[in-house]
Amino acid sequence: MDLQDLEFINKALDADVELREKIKDEVSELDKKTRSMVGFLNKIHSTPLEQIPSLVDSVRPNLQDLRTTTAALHALIPLDQFWRWKDMWSNSMRNAVFCATLMEYLTSGTLMSMAGVSGALGIQDGWKDRFALPVEDYLHGLITLVNELSRLAVNAVTLGNYEEPIRISKFVKDLFAGFSMLNLKNDTLRRRYDSLKYDIKKIEEVVYDVSLRKLATAT
Amino acid sequence: MSASQFDSLRTKDAIVDLFDHFRDELDQQNDRRERLIKSSRDITNLSKKYIFLLHRIATEDTQDDLQLRAMRAVEQARPKLRDIQNIFASMKPELVGDLYWKHQKSISPGLQEYIEALSFSHYLEYGTLVSFADVQESMSDDDGPYFPLTISDYLLGLSDLTGELMRFAISAISRRGGRTKANEICTFVRRCKADFEGMCPRVRGLSKKQHVTNQSLQKIEDAAYTIAIRSSEYDLPDDILDDIVARCISGYDTRHQNYDRQPERWKDGEEDEDEYF
């Protein structure tokens, strides 16, 4: 290799290393933020129904705060290189999706769309050649949501909220109908999708228990 | 501010509708990925054949000088190289914009094999290492590159070149002018090894290949040693020595024990170029 080539390659490699470090800093920030949100939201399992709205409201600023990190990542990623780096923050983003959709469910009982989540995280359409929310990450987040809701179905009953499991059951079944539309390849998303049926089964059992004892009025 | 201001899906139909879009998008992604993996495999396959062809012609049993034969090999094999480059051209529309990085892992095995093939032919023709710019140039048309070449693919492809040079040096050693050639290759591979060493920590997978380079280098050195020791027993002109040497080491050509790169690769039923990181 002649000297010029050698220098060119070394420079390019150094630049990559430097960029990776910068991204890593932002990602660890994102990770910290989403983890603490997940921690806060864990309180739903021990919070009575009437206090849930204020709990969700208290976490909203944290969700809002994620926007600074997504904006920082967008500023770092070179044009068209989103997929090169995205593995570094996939997990954090999935957690962020989970938090946003859980909060929406607790607020309105509905599913927040992918565009909705992108909006909540401050991800703009115009960013797409540098930073975006990929379908896979949104779907991963939703599966985490179902996992969490199956727990909530159980714990809500313990707290005396007998209607919640029925609401959850309806919501999760609709969501599952959506997932059934997909042709998933053999990857982690597929494996996690396959595990959804256990969550559904658990929720069904809770619904069965409360209806059998006429604890819930809805059908 | 409430999160509810963002689009929410209130009905099952709305959810199913959304997932309908997801299915289309995911299907499209997967199909594209499959097509690219297939192209990558085709490129790997053709590149291997191209390399074998170069070896065959370059070490043909004729009285011609090695360099002459090497040039002939490159010339004769050129259409095959063109075939491979045409496959890259056909991949261009699937790799525009951010698609390149999305599918980089699917195409990089074929790409590296191609770089190995290209660098081998470049070495036969010019006796130098093909430059990054030349590789990118070979995968371009008037509108520019088909897709961006990464340093990592470039280096990992070049790293495989040393194995081919080892084969070439050892097969050529019994041919006329082969001992000089083997020494040239030895020097060249030593320089490659030195150049790559400093890049190892920054390029994933390079240190593993560097290990193979070491082994190749050692084989060339051992062969050179054999030649030196044998020739020291005679005080004869070079061409007569050539004949003696041809008899001495004819075993290198036919017994494949020196080509342990192959068994190593086949051991786990997987070709090393087909690794997906």
Q: Which residues of A touch B11 (CB under 8 A)?
A: 174
Task: Examine the domain organization and report whether B43 and B114 are in the same domain.
Answer: yes
- Distance (Å) from the alpha carbon of B229 to chain A's nearest alpha carbon: 31
pLDDT tens digits, one per residue of B236-245 = 666 676 666 6
B122 in the same domain as B183: no
B229 falls in which pLDDT band (50, 70, 90)?
confident
For residue B8, the model assigns a pLDDT of 76
Closest CA–CA distance from residue A113 to any residue of chain B (Å): 6
Please write the tens of the pLDDT for every residue from B73-105: 888 999 999 999 999 999 999 999 999 999 999
Say what the pLDDT of residue A86 is: 95
Contact B203 A13 (CB under 8 A): yes
Residues B162 and B129 in one domain: no
Task: Give me the residue label for tokens 């929406």.
Answer: A104
The residue ranking higher by pLDDT, B232 or A32, is A32
Q: Residue B104: its chain A contacts at CB < 8 A?
A: 83-84
Does A15 contact chain B (CB < 8 Å)?
no
User: Does B197 lie in the same domain as B85?
Assistant: no
User: Does residue B167 sit within a domain?
Assistant: yes
Contacts of B6 in chain A (CB under 8 A): 104, 112-113, 115-117, 119-120
pLDDT > 70 in chain B, percent: 81
Whole-number average pLDDT of chain B: 83
Q: Are residues B134 and B18 in the same domain?
A: yes
Q: Per-residue pLDDT for B255 more than 60? A: no
Q: Which of B84, B109, B144 is the last residue of a domain?
A: B144
Q: What pLDDT, on the 0 to 100 scale, is given for residue B251?
A: 52
Are residues B35 and B133 both part of a single domain? yes
Contact A115 B26 (CB under 8 A): no
Q: Is residue B97 in a domain? A: yes
Residue A215's contacts (CB-CB under 8 Å, 6 or more residues apart) are A157, A162
Question: B136 lies in a domain?
Answer: yes
Work out the minimum CA distance from B159 to partner chain A, whole angstroms. Answer: 12
Is B215 within a domain?
yes
pLDDT value for B116: 96
**Over residues B19-35, mean pLDDT:** 95
For residues B134 and B156, membership in a common domain is answered with: no
Any domain includes B51: yes
Query: What's residue B244's pLDDT?
Result: 65
Q: Is B19 on the interface with A (CB under 8 A)?
A: yes
For the segment B148-170, the average pLDDT, to the nearest whole number, is 93
Shared-domain flag, residues B132 and B193: no
CB contact under 8 A, A112 and B198: no
Structure confidence at residue B247 (pLDDT): 64
Q: Is B144 exposed, middle or buried (0-12, 13-18, 19+ CB in 10 A)?
A: exposed
Domain-terminating residue out of B80, B113, B144: B144
* pLDDT number for residue B46: 96
Residues with Cβ within 8 Å of A110's Cβ and at least 6 positions away in sequence, in order, are A104, A171, B8, B9, B10
**pLDDT tens-digit readout, A27-69:** 999 999 999 999 999 999 999 999 999 999 999 999 999 999 9
The shortest C-alpha distance from A117 to chain B (Å) reads 8
Interface of A with B in 100-139 (CB under 8 A): 100, 103-104, 107-108, 110-117, 119-120, 128-129, 135-136, 139
The verdict on A84 touching B (C-beta cutoff 8 Å) is yes
**Range of the structural domain that residue B76 is part of:** 14-144
* Model confidence at B273: pLDDT above 80: no
Say whether residue A83 is in contact with chain B using an 8 A CB cutoff.
Answer: yes
In this complex, do B102 and A139 lie within 8 Å of one another by their Cβ atoms? Answer: no
Going by pLDDT thresholds of 50, 70 and 90, the confidence category of residue B261 is very low
Q: Which of B26, B151, B195 sits opposite A12 (nearest CB)?
A: B151
Give phi and psi for B142, each to the nearest 5. -60, -25
Chain B residue whose CA is closest to A129: B98
Q: Which tokens sit at A118?
A: 């992108």
Residue at a domain's end among B117, B144, B171: B144
Residue of B nearest to A189 (CA): B26
Of B23, B97, B132, the CB nearest to A182: B23
Q: Cβ A1–B195 below 8 Å, yes or no?
A: yes
Rounded to the nearest angstrom, the minimum Cα separation between A211 and chain B is: 23
- Out of B18, B100, B192, the one facing A80 most closely (by C-beta) is B100
Sort out which chain A residues have CB atoms less than 8 A from B1's CB and list them: 60, 64
Check whether residue B183 and residue B203 sit in a common domain.
Answer: yes
B6 to A111: CB separation less than 8 angstroms, yes or no: no
The whole-number pLDDT of residue B245 equals: 61
**Which chain A residues touch B8 with a CB distance below 8 Å?**
104, 108, 110-113, 116
- Of the residues A1, A74, A184, the best mutation for testing chain B's interface (the one with the most B CB atoms within 10 Å of its CB) is A1
Cα dihedral B171, B176, B178, B181 in deg (nearest 10): -130
pLDDT at A198: 94
Could you tell me the CATH number of the domain that includes residue B63? 1.20.58.190
Domain for residue B274, yes or no?
no
pLDDT at B5: 42
> Does residue B83 share a domain with residue B43?
yes
Domain count within chain B: 2
Pair (B192, B76) in one structural domain? no
Q: What is the CATH number of the domain that holds B256?
A: 1.20.58.200
Residues of chain A scoring pLDDT < 70: 218-219
Of A5-14, B6-15, B33-42, least confident by mean pLDDT is B6-15
For B173-207, how does the pLDDT look when each residue is reduced to its tens digit (9 = 90+)?
777 777 788 889 999 999 999 999 989 989 999 99
Residues B86 and B158 grouped into a single domain: no
pLDDT bracket for residue B258 (50, 70, 90): very low
Domains in chain A (CATH in brackets) are 3-212 (1.20.58.2140)
| pLDDT for position A182 | 94
A176 touching chain B per CB within 8 A = no
Residue pairs between chains A and B whose CB atoms are closer than 8 Å: 121
Question: How many whole angstroms separate alpha carbon A100 and alpha carbon A167?
Answer: 18
Classify each residue of B232-259 as buried b or exposed e, where b means 16 or more C-beta atoms within 10 Å of its C-beta.
eeeeeeeeebbeebbebbeebbeeeebb
pLDDT of residue B259 exceeding 70:
no
CB contact under 8 A, B3 and A103: yes
10 Å Cβ neighbour count for B222? 12
In a domain, B257, yes or no: yes
**Per-residue pLDDT, B237:** 67
